[in-house]
A and B are shown apart, each in its own frame.
Chain A
Amino acid sequence: MDGSQHPLEKSSIISDKVDTTTCYMCACRCGIKVHLLDGKIRYIEGNPNHPVNKGVLCAKGSAGIMQHYSPARLSKPLRRIGERGAGEFEEIEWDEALSIATAWLSSIRETDPKRLAFFTGRDQSQALTSWWAQQFGTPNYAAHGGFCSVNMATGGVYTFGSAFWEFSEPDWDNTKYFLMLGVAEDHDSNPIKMGLSKLKNRGAKFVSVNPIQTGYSAIADEWIGITPGTDGLFVMSLMHELLRAGKIDVDYLIRYTNAPYLVIQNPGEKDHGLFARDSKDQELCWDRARNKAVPFTDATLKPAMKGSFELPDGVKVRPVFELLAERYLDEQYSPDLVASQTGIKPETIRRIAAEIAEVAFENEITINQPWTDWRGQKHEKMIGRPVAMHAMRGISAHSNGFHTCRAIHLLQILLGSIDCPGGLRYKAPYPKGFNSLPKPTGHPDQIKPNTPLPGPHLGFVQGPEDLLLDNNNGPMRIDKAFSWDAPMASHGMMHTIITNAAKGDPYKIDLLFMYMANMAWNSSMNTAETISMLTAKDESSGDYKIPKIIYSDAFYSETVPYADLILPDTTYLERWDCISMLDRPISDAEGAADGIRHPVVQPDRDVRPFQDVLIDIGSRLGLPGLVKEDGSSRFPEGYKDYITNHERMPGVGSLAGFRGENGKEKGKGKPNKNQLDSYIENGCFWYDKIPKEARYFRHANASYLDYATKMGFIKEATPIIFNLYSEPQQKFKLSAQGHGRYIPPDQHKKRIEKYFDPLPIWYEPFDQAAIDTREYPLHALTQRPAAMYHSWGSQNAWLRQIHGTNRLYIPEELAKANNIIDEDWVFVSSRKGRIKVRVKLMKGVNSKTIWTWNGIGKRTGAWNLDDNAKEYTEGFLLNHLIDDLLPTNEHNYNYSNSDPITGQAAWFDVRVKIEKVPSKEQNEDTKSQPQFNRVKLPPTMPNRPNIIKYTVNKDDIK
């Protein structure tokens, strides 16, 4: 006999049920098909019909089974019985847990609602959580955007009414030149891989600007290993070159941007640098033909783009464009002068500028699709400048990230490549003008006991008058968002709450309530001190400085031991969820889309979906909107009920598809009781193809603006004019110069005046400017491993075989100079701390940069791993080196280590030095440092098997 006689079942039964739902192993929100056999998960694959991933699935998504059956899963509500941080808990019933939470929350709400700080992490239910916090009445709510990528969101929205990633994507099918800046292998995982593949197969050029040559950068036609924090200089130098050569789309600038707007020239006065407006508050431009100022909306306008003019009232004005050209034509942005700081040769910068210009202006593409702009002018064709860009964390996580992000958008706008064929395309419900978006809520007169906030917490300020300030001109919010510390902190500043709450700065809170954010570990800067603040006690009372902490998570993460009450969550396969147009939907450039999750398996333990729990607590508290007049719950079936029946405005709810009583309406329509069934039938998503004539130039496209208004994405069909010049920036600058009703306290004046600028500027990252760079010559970064990003929990048996430990990657020449070889132990020090780690040598890295994978190191005990797991013994975090505060300034004050405009955490600013551990000590104490006490496990944790033989099979053969 030989093997070929082996009976082979080629058509085995794979499943008795295939459910679609939405993945949650990272932030991409791919559609998945879950094959179930006898209620067990047999196989998870990508859903071919889904707009995000079109059938593909990454390593994380494919490892969902191991996340679901993880031994790190929590099993039951827990109440702390030992000291905080020890991990000593007792199990309690849900009823008791919910009663405790309700009692704590209700006494706060009855007295001073702002003493609740409610912050959520990487959850995707912010449409619910923010609304809940609004009903509660605390101003202290945000999700994790402040420590993630708010610079990208804010820089984008204030410039072109959208942002990279979630609200735009490169025109993968048409672009011929793709410039990717600072993508640390992060967002948007699968769509970027799919897109790069298309580009390369079409013969487009892909340039990656990144200090590290891994992942996407590995397949780039050209890798530019830029020095961290200098991308702004590089981009401004490209603008310098394009302007110098006249390689800009003047027609596009006149049509769609504020380039022709007239800016008042009145130095030292309150209107200096603001736009000249007529009596109807319309922005004025100088008409070349009529030689007078007329409104931008004038249909026959032929605007001047340069020159100094005088308005009838004697006010002197100049067009935005001239100010812009003047700034970036300055020699300081010439390739020769930015070369040494950026680490990019001048001839490379010149060549990249020339290549971009060549593709944009000599390789334009045309789609024969007539369309009409907002002025009513008809266009026979859609003409594209096929240069597209994408940028993310490497730009965002610097204290100069807001301006750098704006600079990248300015570059695209000068080329005329926003939402044109081949450029960067919008995704619904964006674009939205920044001035059409809500302003933040939480002014002193809006915070009252037992009273909801009258609007959303987070928003876009238009000037100092929109800041959330207390009666002493100080912050209203515990995280100091929307205060003079961080005026445009549109996503809040979650990374500051533990420090601020422990210090009672700006005030004390009673309860910190968090969901799905590992703040006692890899989601905080300065981890060791952050942990100590969670356990710090008031000397006189002996109480914890942060008196109560409630935390919800599905897993035993490092943060769980620091909470007093744990509300155990389910996994993504056991819950309802909506990927909502009110939050961050799943649209692509061609269509508007949203989606749902639904339970494909039932929990086998005593856990509940956090969203159901939040609605339950809200009903127990009697929050308006959550209870009916008789006090009974408005959503007795929990989150599912809320998704279906909640209306944000009449006809606008969590989901845009299958609305109306018959389920045939889209965008707006009455709630439909069968809506979720329709979603499930449709593969758990809804997709509405945007009409052909509305798929490009959407900021100014009459049919798109009309479509978006009908769908409820925007309130009225007004164009989104691109803000090359950002007037709100100038308003802040003026306030710092003493103009207007709202003036920063003296200690903030210089900073506001310096860093707010209506045209993007570049400055040295703060942490770097604060130290002697000769002592700390290196930059330290993290990259997100494609197989683990956003699935940091090392409990995943499959993923930890790929990234079970991390090394510090250092440039070969640096290693040589320090006599370091592969696997040596080194000390890495910053002004904040020192860590001991193992190295690997690398060629493809900027010569002044060292880096590691993010979030791999774990604290012993957390995640229910064996004590000798390498995540504990060798893994490490860079977080210990990154201070959460900037050094004390001349006002004896410490700003958060963040962007001064948006409050974005400046993770990537840190400067370090390395030093080889002496040879004789190389083999002693071979553990990474620092190490922390082992945390104990809660009473009931799943068995941690010594071997896994996972199989789901018809005959259960093994």
Chain B
Amino acid sequence: MTALPQNTKTKLGLVIDLDICVGCHACSVNCKEWNTSGYHAPMTDTAPYGADPTGVWFNRVHAYEIQRPAGESQTVYFPKSCLHCEDAPCVTVCPTGASYKREEDGIVLVNEDLCIGCKLCSWACPYGAREYDSSEGVMKKCTLCIDKIYNENLPEESRQPACVSTCPANARHFGDLGDPDSDVSKMVKSRGGYDLMPEQNTKPVNKYLPPRTRQMGPNSITSKAKLEDASPDGGFLGWLDKVLSD
């Protein structure tokens, strides 16, 4: 019911590298810390010291275990936040116009003044990326740190989403995914970055980089399977003699 822009001037978004995410939750907490005094302030925490503390988090890290074809297991950490989709169903479903996608940079935002807390957007989002603040009766979500990335009160190098600047593993990158020459676009290209759940046709701007091929067997920087004896005749000490006589 709310229209999406035909085109956006830029497509700001995140590139998340699943090859090096160690699941440390730095992104989640730094995001919460920034945003609790940011555009969607506060990031309410209900029953913070009770049995079931429940807070507003724009970015959550999930852990999965998978079995590789060869049989061995692998733990995968998967950070998830709003993907700022080009065809954002959370926007088109919004009855009041509170959810909108910015024409200038493609960021999907919620105008809390217009939000009636009907939650249609959270039903429409296939990624579960919306966060309802029940105490305030409004929907909140990742703003891509809109009050940080353009903030002239911050030094240039700090004008990045909080999750990107804080990530200890450098697994998160920010930039214009609409510009094929941007660093993030090049990274997506070279690493085979992919859309999350493309069958949903939401055209997410954020991309994920898959885990690299493991350095094992034929793909490895090393190729040897075992070492040969130093000296078949004289054994190790014979070899040593030879080395020292050189």
One of A196, A218, A306 near B75 (C-beta < 8 A)? A218
- Expressed in whole angstroms, the minimum distance between the Cβ of A321 and any Cβ of chain B is 8
Interface of B (DSSP majority class): loop
The interface residues of chain B lying within 8 Å CB-to-CB of A200 are: 19-20, 212
The interface residues of chain B lying within 8 Å CB-to-CB of A244 are: 227, 229-230, 236
One of A4, A205, A842, A864 near B222 (C-beta < 8 A)? A205
One of A42, A329, A787 near B37 (C-beta < 8 A)? A42
Classify chain A: how many residues form its interface, as a range.
35 or more
Contact string against A for B residues 6-50, beta-carbon threshold 8 Å, 1 for contact and 0 otherwise: 000000000000011111111011101110111101111111111
- Expressed in whole angstroms, the minimum distance between the Cβ of B55 and any Cβ of chain A is 6
Asked whether B50 lies within 8 Å of A958 as measured between CB atoms, the reply is no
One of B211, B227, B244 near A354 (C-beta < 8 A)? B227
Q: Which of A43, A868, A953 is packed against the most chain B CB atoms within 10 Å?
A: A43
One of B19, B47, B165 near A946 (C-beta < 8 A)? B47
For the complex, what is the distance from the CA of A947 to the CA of B42, rounded to whole Å? 11
Asked whether A949 lies within 8 Å of B216 as measured between CB atoms, the reply is no
Residue of B nearest to A843 (CB): B73
The interface residues of chain A lying within 8 Å CB-to-CB of B63 are: 214
Contact string against A for B residues 145-183, beta-carbon threshold 8 Å, 1 for contact and 0 otherwise: 011001111100110001001111111000000000000
The interface residues of chain B lying within 8 Å CB-to-CB of A59 are: 24-26, 28-30
The interface residues of chain A lying within 8 Å CB-to-CB of B113 are: 6
The interface residues of chain B lying within 8 Å CB-to-CB of A243 are: 236
The interface residues of chain A lying within 8 Å CB-to-CB of B74 are: 213, 218, 844
CB of B200 closer than 8 Å to a CB of A: no
One of A3, A42, A944, A958 near B49 (C-beta < 8 A)? A944
One of A6, A44, A45, A196 near B158 (C-beta < 8 A)? A45
The interface residues of chain A lying within 8 Å CB-to-CB of B37 are: 42-43, 950-953
The interface residues of chain A lying within 8 Å CB-to-CB of B167 are: 56
Asked whether A797 lies within 8 Å of B227 as measured between CB atoms, the reply is no
CB of A250 closer than 8 Å to a CB of B: yes
The interface residues of chain A lying within 8 Å CB-to-CB of B230 are: 244-247
One of A288, A306, A359 near B221 (C-beta < 8 A)? A359
Asked whether B225 lies within 8 Å of A354 as measured between CB atoms, the reply is yes
The interface residues of chain B lying within 8 Å CB-to-CB of A43 are: 33-34, 37
Q: Please judge, given known A-B contacts A8-B146, A59-B25, A59-B29, whether A2 and B2 are in contact too, CB under 8 Å.
A: yes
Q: Which of A9-17, A120-128, A402-410, A621-629 sits within the interface?
A: A9-17
The interface residues of chain B lying within 8 Å CB-to-CB of A10 are: 146-147, 150-151
Q: Please judge, given known A-B contacts A2-B100, A222-B216, A801-B45, whether A62 and B33 are in contact too, CB under 8 Å.
A: yes
Asked whether B26 lies within 8 Å of A353 as measured between CB atoms, the reply is no
Q: Please judge, given known A-B contacts A246-B240, A947-B46, whether A193 and B169 are in contact too, CB under 8 Å.
A: yes
- Expressed in whole angstroms, the minimum distance between the Cβ of A29 and any Cβ of chain B is 14
Asked whether B244 lies within 8 Å of A288 as measured between CB atoms, the reply is yes
Residue of A nearest to B31 (CB): A62
Asked whether A350 lies within 8 Å of B215 as measured between CB atoms, the reply is no
Q: Which of B81-89, B102-110, B122-130 sits within the interface?
A: B102-110
Asked whether B44 lies within 8 Å of A948 as measured between CB atoms, the reply is yes
Q: Please judge, given known A-B contacts A3-B97, A214-B75, whether A11 and B49 are in contact too, CB under 8 Å.
A: no
For the complex, what is the distance from the CA of A42 to the CA of B147, rounded to whole Å? 14
Asked whether B29 lies within 8 Å of A787 as measured between CB atoms, the reply is yes
One of B75, B223, B239 near A213 (C-beta < 8 A)? B75
Asked whether A864 lies within 8 Å of B53 as measured between CB atoms, the reply is no
Q: Please judge, given known A-B contacts A58-B24, A219-B20, whether A3 and B111 are in contact too, CB under 8 Å.
A: yes
Asked whether B114 lies within 8 Å of A3 as measured between CB atoms, the reply is yes
Contact string against B for A residues 52-72, beta-carbon threshold 8 Å, 1 for contact and 0 otherwise: 010111111111010000010
For the complex, what is the distance from the CA of A925 to the CA of B213, rounded to whole Å? 47
The interface residues of chain A lying within 8 Å CB-to-CB of B67 are: 843
Asked whether B36 lies within 8 Å of A844 as measured between CB atoms, the reply is no
Asked whether B75 lies within 8 Å of A3 as measured between CB atoms, the reply is no
- Expressed in whole angstroms, the minimum distance between the Cβ of A244 and any Cβ of chain B is 6
One of A218, A347, A355, A949 near B76 (C-beta < 8 A)? A218
For the complex, what is the distance from the CA of A355 to the CA of B21, rounded to whole Å? 25
- Expressed in whole angstroms, the minimum distance between the Cβ of A415 and any Cβ of chain B is 13
The interface residues of chain A lying within 8 Å CB-to-CB of B214 are: 221-222
CB of A795 closer than 8 Å to a CB of B: yes
One of B22, B43, B94 near A193 (C-beta < 8 A)? B22
The interface residues of chain B lying within 8 Å CB-to-CB of A358 are: 222-224
For the complex, what is the distance from the CA of A219 to the CA of B210, rounded to whole Å? 12
The interface residues of chain B lying within 8 Å CB-to-CB of A944 are: 49
For the complex, what is the distance from the CA of A827 to the CA of B43, rounded to whole Å? 39
Asked whether A868 lies within 8 Å of B26 as measured between CB atoms, the reply is no
- Expressed in whole angstroms, the minimum distance between the Cβ of B129 and any Cβ of chain A is 17
For the complex, what is the distance from the CA of A194 to the CA of B168, rounded to whole Å? 5
Asked whether A196 lies within 8 Å of B22 as measured between CB atoms, the reply is yes
Q: Please judge, given known A-B contacts A3-B111, A214-B75, A944-B49, whether A57 and B166 are in contact too, CB under 8 Å.
A: yes
Asked whether B243 lies within 8 Å of A246 as measured between CB atoms, the reply is yes
Contact string against B for A residues 206-228, beta-carbon threshold 8 Å, 1 for contact and 0 otherwise: 10000001111111011100000
CB of B99 closer than 8 Å to a CB of A: yes
CB of B233 closer than 8 Å to a CB of A: no
The interface residues of chain B lying within 8 Å CB-to-CB of A44 are: 33
CB of B199 closer than 8 Å to a CB of A: no
CB of B77 closer than 8 Å to a CB of A: yes
CB of A898 closer than 8 Å to a CB of B: no
CB of A351 closer than 8 Å to a CB of B: yes
CB of B98 closer than 8 Å to a CB of A: yes
- Expressed in whole angstroms, the minimum distance between the Cβ of A781 and any Cβ of chain B is 16
For the complex, what is the distance from the CA of A58 to the CA of B44, rounded to whole Å? 21
One of A222, A250, A350 near B226 (C-beta < 8 A)? A350
For the complex, what is the distance from the CA of A152 to the CA of B216, rounded to whole Å? 30
For the complex, what is the distance from the CA of A59 to the CA of B33, rounded to whole Å? 10
One of A4, A48, A205, A242 near B227 (C-beta < 8 A)? A242
List CB contacts (< 8 Å) of A171-219 with chain B: 176-177, 189-190, 193-194, 196-197, 200-201, 203-206, 213-219
Asked whether B22 lies within 8 Å of A866 as measured between CB atoms, the reply is no
The interface residues of chain A lying within 8 Å CB-to-CB of B225 are: 347, 350-351, 354
Asked whether B51 lies within 8 Å of A798 as measured between CB atoms, the reply is no
Asked whether B169 lies within 8 Å of A194 as measured between CB atoms, the reply is yes
Asked whether B20 lies within 8 Å of A953 as measured between CB atoms, the reply is no
Asked whether B243 lies within 8 Å of A3 as measured between CB atoms, the reply is no
Residue of B nearest to A954 (CB): B37
The interface residues of chain A lying within 8 Å CB-to-CB of B153 are: 11-14
CB of A957 closer than 8 Å to a CB of B: yes
- Expressed in whole angstroms, the minimum distance between the Cβ of A266 and any Cβ of chain B is 23
CB of A305 closer than 8 Å to a CB of B: yes
Q: Please judge, given known A-B contacts A213-B74, A950-B36, whether A3 and B21 are in contact too, CB under 8 Å.
A: no
CB of B54 closer than 8 Å to a CB of A: yes
For the complex, what is the distance from the CA of A213 to the CA of B227, rounded to whole Å? 28
CB of A241 closer than 8 Å to a CB of B: yes
Offer 7 A-B interface pairs, CB within 8 angstroms, sorted by A.
Answer: A6-B111, A11-B150, A213-B73, A245-B228, A247-B227, A843-B73, A949-B135
Give 12 A-B pairs besides A801-B55, A947-B47 with Cβ atoms closer than 8 angstroms.
A57-B166, A63-B29, A244-B236, A245-B227, A247-B227, A306-B240, A354-B227, A786-B22, A799-B29, A843-B65, A946-B48, A949-B135
Lowest 10 A-B CB distances belong to which pairs?
Answer: A246-B230, A2-B97, A245-B227, A3-B100, A843-B73, A3-B111, A354-B224, A193-B168, A218-B75, A797-B48
Q: Which residues of A contact B (CB under 8 A)?
A: 1-4, 6, 8-14, 42-46, 48, 53, 55-63, 65, 71, 176-177, 189-190, 193-194, 196-197, 200-201, 203-206, 213-219, 221-223, 241-247, 250, 288, 302, 304-306, 322, 325, 329, 347, 350-351, 353-355, 357-359, 363, 786-787, 795, 797-802, 804, 842-844, 864-866, 868-870, 873, 944-953, 957-958
